[in-house]
Amino acid sequence: MRLALRIEYDGSSFFGWQIQPEVLTIQGEIERGLSQVAGEPIRVFCAGRTDTGVHATYQIVHFDTTVIRPDSAWVRGLNALISKDISILWVREVSSEFHARYSALRRTYRYLLLNREQRPGLFAKNVGWYHKKLDVNAMKAAALTIIGENDFSAFRSSECQANNPVRTIEKLCVRAVGDVIVFEVTANAFLHHMVRNIVGTLVYIGAGKQPVEWMDEILVSRNRALAAPTFSPNGLYLTSIDYNPHWGLPGPGLFSDFENVLTSFDA
């Protein structure tokens, strides 16, 4: 039997998604808890392997098991066993052909950047921060230049293990919500550190350190060394993964309400 779970988490205390020896990871916590609920070793697969400190409001994982448990055991039982920074929201039985990663059509990330002189006191681990006023219109114009199918070598980390650096960005929006700037990017898939490197480069443009045209120059160069430094993981959220409706999975739902809370920083 194959089951899919929706999870959300605050990634501040974790060394990212992927299981590693002797450190706390999202995958490690979920597999530990599921194995206890199932009474057998469980391995999970996900769409969107988030980095250290990155959060998620909508991440889908799947796993196979030979045991039958009520939904309450997989949800409430698992929540009782794992870190309080992770929450399992629902479980669905899915076809054996479903794969959380390979069945995904696209992923969406949002980056919340507090743009004011004073550093954040509340939500310090849940928003990025830049102290000088940023030009949102300049960042919007720069963002438009990298939408589409491109080689994103200039925006991936040296540790990226992807065989192919070509990705398709379907949407890259920048908007101001009070003192918070929200970056939203949707793509068929992402490279390691790709979103944080894009945000860092847009911030350089918004701060007037580089012109709008610099974004396209970096993209064409395919040279990571020419782009801005990788931005902080604090404000980055995996917010949506799209699947074909025939899999019967509920959508992401109410992140907009959560975002309203995180963006209530008006002076």
State pLDDT tens for residues 90-143.
999 999 999 999 999 999 999 999 999 999 998 889 999 999 999 999 999 999
| Helix (H) and strand (E) counts in the chain | 7, 10
**Alpha carbons 162 and 225: distance in angstroms, whole number:** 18
Specify the residue for token string 């739902």. Answer: 253
- Does residue 266 register a pLDDT over 70? no
Q: For residue 210, how far is the Cα from the chain centroid?
A: 27
b (16+ CB within 10 A) / e for 40-53: eebebbbbbbbbeb
Contacts of 239 (CB under 8 A, 6+ apart): 56, 57, 58, 108, 109, 110, 184, 252, 255
Output the pTM of the full model: 0.92
φ, ψ for residue 212 (rounded to 5)?
-55, -40
Contacts of 34 (CB under 8 A, 6+ apart): 42, 44, 63, 65, 74, 78
State pLDDT tens for residues 207-263.
999 999 999 999 999 999 999 999 999 999 999 999 999 999 988 865 545 555 544
Cα pseudo-dihedral 16, 189, 112, 134, rounded to 10 = 130
The CATH number of 106-238 is: 3.30.70.660
Catalytic-labelled residue, pool 51, 64, 135, 151? 51
Q: Do domains 2-103 and 106-238 have the same CATH topology?
A: yes
| Per-residue H/E/C for 71-110 | HHHHHHHHHHHCCCCEEEEEEEEECCCCCCCCCCCEEEEE
**Alpha carbons 24 and 58: distance in angstroms, whole number:** 20
Instruction: Please tell us whether the domain made up of 2-103 is placed in CATH 3.30.930.10.
Output: no
Boundaries of every domain in the chain: 2-103, 106-238
Alpha-carbon separation of residue 211 from 39, 111, 215 (angstroms): 58, 22, 8
pLDDT at 258: 54
Contacts of 53 (CB under 8 A, 6+ apart): 11, 12, 14, 16, 125, 232, 233, 234, 236
pLDDT at 254: 55
pLDDT at 255: 52
State pLDDT tens for residues 18-58.
999 899 999 999 999 999 999 999 999 998 889 999 999 99
Pairing mode, if any, of strands 55-64 and 2-9? antiparallel
φ, ψ for residue 248 (rounded to 5)?
75, 25
Whether 51 sits among the annotated catalytic residues: the reply is yes
